[in-house]
C-alpha cells in the first residue's frame, strides 16, 4: 500500500516502509461502503493529527491536570502541545515518520498525552500498551508490531524498565531517565500528512477469553468513532475524570482525543482508588461518567461514599461489559441517569441509548444501532455488525479471515435479541455458555440472579469441569464491605426464590477479595476458570 504526504518545510520527504503492504492482514472495505461513508460525511479523510492540531488550536488554554501521587502535573493544552511538538521534532530527526509505528507503555501521565499527540502529528501508527502489562505481554506486542520508537517509564507498580525487551527498537525513551533527551529545542510545525485509510492505531484487546489480539484502526474509522462517542455524552456532564488506562484503546480515546475535540478540561488519574476518586470529586468538582459498571459501583460501595457525591454522579454511561439489571436499577433509584452502549475494540460503538431515551430502553437494553451502523442477527442469534467505525482487521490474517466476511460484516461472537423498536440486548457470548450434561446454561442469566443476592457487590458464573456432567456452574463473588458472606445454602435458597430452573443453579460458591481484570476493568473469566481448574487438579492430586 503506497502512501503520500507533503509538508511545506520538506516537500521531498516520503513515508517509511510499513508492515501493512502486500500480504497485509487488513481486510478490504467494500468500495460501495467506503463511498457511502464518505458521501454521508462519516469519513472526512481528516487524519487524527489534523483533527488534533485543529482542536488544540481552538482551546489552547484548556486545563490539563494529572492527579497522581507519583507524578502530578498541571498546565494547559498549549503547554502539553509544545512538549508533544518538541518530541515530534526529535523523533522526526531520528527518522520516525508516516508509515512507522510508535508504541508507548505509560500510566495516565502528561508524558502519555505528549507521546500520543506527537505520534499523531507525525502521521505514525500508534500502539498503546496498558501500563501494567508485564514482560510476557509487552514482549509479545513489541515482537508483533516491530515499532520504530517505544516510549515507556522507568518504573510503575510492579513493572520496571527492561532494556532487553526493546533492544531491537531503534528509538527508545524512558520517562524518569532520558525521555527529554528526545526533545528538539524548537517544536515541529504543522502536521505530516498520511493516507486517512492508513492504520492509525493498533489496539491490543484486553483478553477476557484468550491471548490479546492486535486490532487495526484507520484514521477514518477512529475519527468517526471519536466524533460519534463525543456526541453521545450529555452536554451537562461536567468535567470528567479519566482513570481508565490511556494504554487501553477506550481510555486513550476518552482521555486524549474526545476532550480535545470538545475543548473540555482533561483530568487524569493513574491508579484506580475509589477513596481517592471520591476525595477528588469533592475537592476538584470532577465528575465520574461511567464505563464498566465496576467503576461506579466501587464508589457507591466504598466507606467514604456520601449522598453528596451524587452531584458528581449525575450520569452513568455503562458499557464495555455486560450490565446486569440489578446494577442499572440500583443506580437509577439513586437518581443517576443510566444509559447503556455496546461495542468492542473491533467495532467500538455498535449500539447505544442517549441519556434522554425512555427508562426501559436505557436500563434494560444496550441501545439501538448508532448512525451509520448496521446490525443483524444470524440464525443462531450471533450479532453481526458493520459501520464507519469498524476496524480494518487484526494483525493476524487468520483472525481477520475468521471474523469478517466479504461484504464487510463483523461476526462479534456475542448473542443478542432485537426488540420491535430495534433495541439490542446482549444475552450471552458464544464462548460463555456452560454446557451441563448436554444442556446449555447461560452464564449471563445466572449472573443476573447472582447479583441480587444480599451482600454481593460483583459476581460471575463460570464453567468448571465435572466428571459426570462434563461441566457445572461455579459462582465467584466479591462481597460488599462489612456484610456477612453468603454460603452455598443461602445461594441455593436465593436461586429457588428467584424461580430459576434448578439445573441452572451454581453448584459451587467461591468468595474473592477482587477479580482479575483487564485494563478497562472487565473481569477476566478465562483467568478465573484457569484458577479454579488448577485448584481442582491440585486437590485431586493431593487425594491420590
Domains 1-17+44-227 and 441-543 share a fold: no
**Cα of 160 vs its chain's centroid, Å:** 24
pLDDT computed for residue 49 by the predictor: 97
Question: d(Cα 371, Cα 43) in Å, to the nearest integer?
Answer: 12
pLDDT computed for residue 208 by the predictor: 41
Question: d(Cα 426, Cα 412) in Å, to the nearest integer?
Answer: 11
pLDDT computed for residue 431 by the predictor: 67
**Cα dihedral 308, 309, 311, 315 in deg (nearest 10):** -140
Beta bridge partners of 66: 73, 268
pLDDT computed for residue 233 by the predictor: 85
pLDDT computed for residue 524 by the predictor: 85
Buried b (16+ CB within 10 A) or exposed e, 83-92: bbbbbbbbbb
pLDDT computed for residue 137 by the predictor: 81
Question: d(Cα 32, Cα 389) in Å, to the nearest integer?
Answer: 16
Q: Is the dihedral of CA 331, 337, 338, 344 positive or negative?
A: negative
Q: In this structure, are strands 337-342 and 351-352 parallel, antiparallel, or unpaired?
A: antiparallel
Q: Quick one: 97 exposed, middle or buried, by C-beta within 10 A (0-12, 13-18, 19+)? A: buried
Strand order in the sheet with 374-377: 374-377, 382-386, 410-418, 424-429
pLDDT computed for residue 325 by the predictor: 80
Contacts of 468 by beta carbon, 8 Å cutoff, 6+ apart: 437
CATH for 1-17+44-227, among 3.20.20.140, 3.40.50.970, 3.40.50.12780, 3.30.420.40? 3.40.50.12780
Backbone phi and psi for residue 172, each to the nearest 5 degrees, phi listed first: -130, 135
CATH architecture classification, 441-543: 2-Layer Sandwich (3.30)
pLDDT computed for residue 188 by the predictor: 98
pLDDT computed for residue 70 by the predictor: 94
pLDDT computed for residue 13 by the predictor: 39
pLDDT computed for residue 21 by the predictor: 37
Question: For every one of its 544 residues, what pLDDT tens digit does the chain have, with 9 covering 90 and above?
Answer: 222 222 323 333 334 434 543 345 578 899 999 999 999 999 999 999 999 999 999 999 999 999 999 999 999 999 999 999 999 999 999 999 998 999 999 999 999 999 999 999 999 999 999 887 778 788 889 999 999 999 999 999 888 899 999 999 999 999 999 999 999 999 999 999 999 999 999 998 754 445 578 999 999 999 999 999 888 888 888 899 998 889 988 889 999 999 999 999 999 999 989 999 999 999 999 998 777 787 888 899 899 999 999 998 999 888 866 677 888 898 999 999 999 999 989 999 999 998 899 999 999 999 999 999 999 998 878 999 999 999 999 998 989 999 999 999 999 988 889 999 999 998 776 667 787 866 678 788 899 899 999 999 999 999 888 766 768 899 999 999 888 999 999 999 999 898 877 888 999 999 999 999 877 788 888 789 888 888 877 775 666 5
All structural domains of the chain with their residue ranges: 1-17+44-227, 441-543
Question: d(Cα 130, Cα 245) in Å, to the nearest integer?
Answer: 6
| 8 A C-beta contact, residue 229 and residue 349 | yes
Question: d(Cα 299, Cα 324) in Å, to the nearest integer?
Answer: 17
Q: Where are the beta strands (DSSP E) in 180-222?
A: 199-204, 214-218
**Three-class DSSP category at 341:** strand
Amino acid at each position: 500500500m503506497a502512501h503520500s504526504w507533503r509538508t511545506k518545510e520538506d516537500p521531498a520527504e516520503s513515508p517509511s516502509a510499513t508492515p501493512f503492504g502486500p500480504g497485509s492482514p487488513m481486510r478490504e472495505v467494500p468500495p460501495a461502503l467506503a463511498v457511502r461513508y464518505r458521501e454521508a460525511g462519516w469519513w472526512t479523510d481528516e487524519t487524527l493529527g489534523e483533527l488534533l492540531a485543529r482542536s488544540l488550536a481552538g482551546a489552547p488554554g484548556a486545563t490539563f491536570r494529572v492527579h497522581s501521587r507519583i507524578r502530578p502535573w498541571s498546565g494547559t493544552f498549549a503547554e502539553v502541545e509544545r512538549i508533544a511538538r518538541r518530541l515530534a521534532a526529535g523523533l522526526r530527526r531520528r527518522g520516525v515518520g508516516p508509515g512507522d509505528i510508535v508504541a508507548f507503555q505509560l500510566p495516565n501521565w502528561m508524558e502519555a498525552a505528549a507521546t500520543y499527540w506527537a505520534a499523531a502529528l507525525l502521521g505514525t501508527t500508534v500502539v498503546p500498551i496498558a501500563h501494567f502489562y508485564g514482560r510476557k505481554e509487552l514482549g509479545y506486542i513489541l515482537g508483533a508490531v516491530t515499532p520504530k520508537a517505544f516510549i515507556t517509564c522507568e518504573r510503575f507498580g510492579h513493572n520496571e524498565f527492561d532494556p532487553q525487551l526493546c533492544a531491537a527498537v531503534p528509538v527508545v525513551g524512558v520517562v524518569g531517565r532520558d525521555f527529554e533527551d528526545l526533545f528538539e529545542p524548537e517544536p515541529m510545525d504543522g502536521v505530516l500528512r498520511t493516507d486517512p485509510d492508513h492504520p492509525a492505531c493498533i489496539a491490543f484487546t484486553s483478553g477476557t477469553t484468550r491471548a490479546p489480539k492486535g486490532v487495526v484502526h484507520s484514521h477514518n474509522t477512529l475519527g468517526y468513532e471519536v466524533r460519534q462517542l463525543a456526541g453521545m455524552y450529555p452536554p451537562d456532564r461536567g468535567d470528567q475524570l479519566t482513570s481508565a488506562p490511556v494504554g487501553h484503546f477506550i481510555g486513550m480515546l476518552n482521555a486524549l482525543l474526545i476532550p480535545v475535540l470538545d475543548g473540555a478540561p482533561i483530568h487524569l488519574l493513574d491508579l484506580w482508588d475509589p477513596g481517592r476518586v471520591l476525595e477528588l470529586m469533592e475537592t476538584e468538582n470532577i465528575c465520574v461518567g461511567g464505563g464498566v459498571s465496576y467503576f461506579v459501583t466501587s464508589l457507591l460501595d466504598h466507606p467514604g461514599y456520601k449522598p453528596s457525591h451524587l452531584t458528581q454522579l449525575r450520569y452513568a454511561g455503562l458499557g464495555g461489559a455486560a450490565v446486569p439489571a440489578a446494577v442499572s436499577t440500583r443506580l437509577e433509584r439513586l437518581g443517576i441517569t443510566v444509559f447503556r452502549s455496546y461495542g468492542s475494540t473491533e467495532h467500538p460503538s455498535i449500539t447505544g441509548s442517549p441519556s434522554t431515551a425512555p427508562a426501559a430502553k436505557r436500563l434494560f437494553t444496550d441501545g439501538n444501532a448508532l448512525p451509520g451502523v448496521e446490525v443483524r442477527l444470524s440464525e443462531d442469534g450471533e450479532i453481526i455488525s458493520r459501520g464507519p467505525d469498524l476496524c480494518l482487521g487484526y494483525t493476524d490474517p487468520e483472525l481477520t479471515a475468521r471474523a469478517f466476511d466479504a461484504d464487510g460484516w463483523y461476526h462479534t461472537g456475542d448473542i443478542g435479541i432485537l426488540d420491535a423498536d430495534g433495541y439490542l440486548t446482549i444475552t450471552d457470548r458464544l464462548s460463555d455458555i456452560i454446557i451441563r450434561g448436554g444442556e446449555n446454561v447461560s452464564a449471563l442469566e445466572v449472573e443476573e440472579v447472582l447479583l441480587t443476592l444480599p451482600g454481593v457487590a460483583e459476581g460471575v458464573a463460570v464453567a468448571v469441569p465435572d466428571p459426570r456432567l462434563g461441566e457445572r456452574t461455579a459462582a465467584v463473588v466479591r462481597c460488599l464491605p462489612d456484610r456477612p458472606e453468603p454460603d452455598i445454602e443461602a445461594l441455593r435458597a436465593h436461586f429457588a426464590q428467584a424461580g430459576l430452573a434448578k439445573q441452572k443453579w451454581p453448584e459451587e460458591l467461591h468468595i474473592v477479595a477482587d477479580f482479575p481484570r483487564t485494563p478497562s476493568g472487565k473481569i477476566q473469566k478465562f483467568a478465573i476458570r484457569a484458577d479454579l481448574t488448577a485448584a481442582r487438579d491440585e486437590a485431586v492430586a493431593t487425594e491420590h
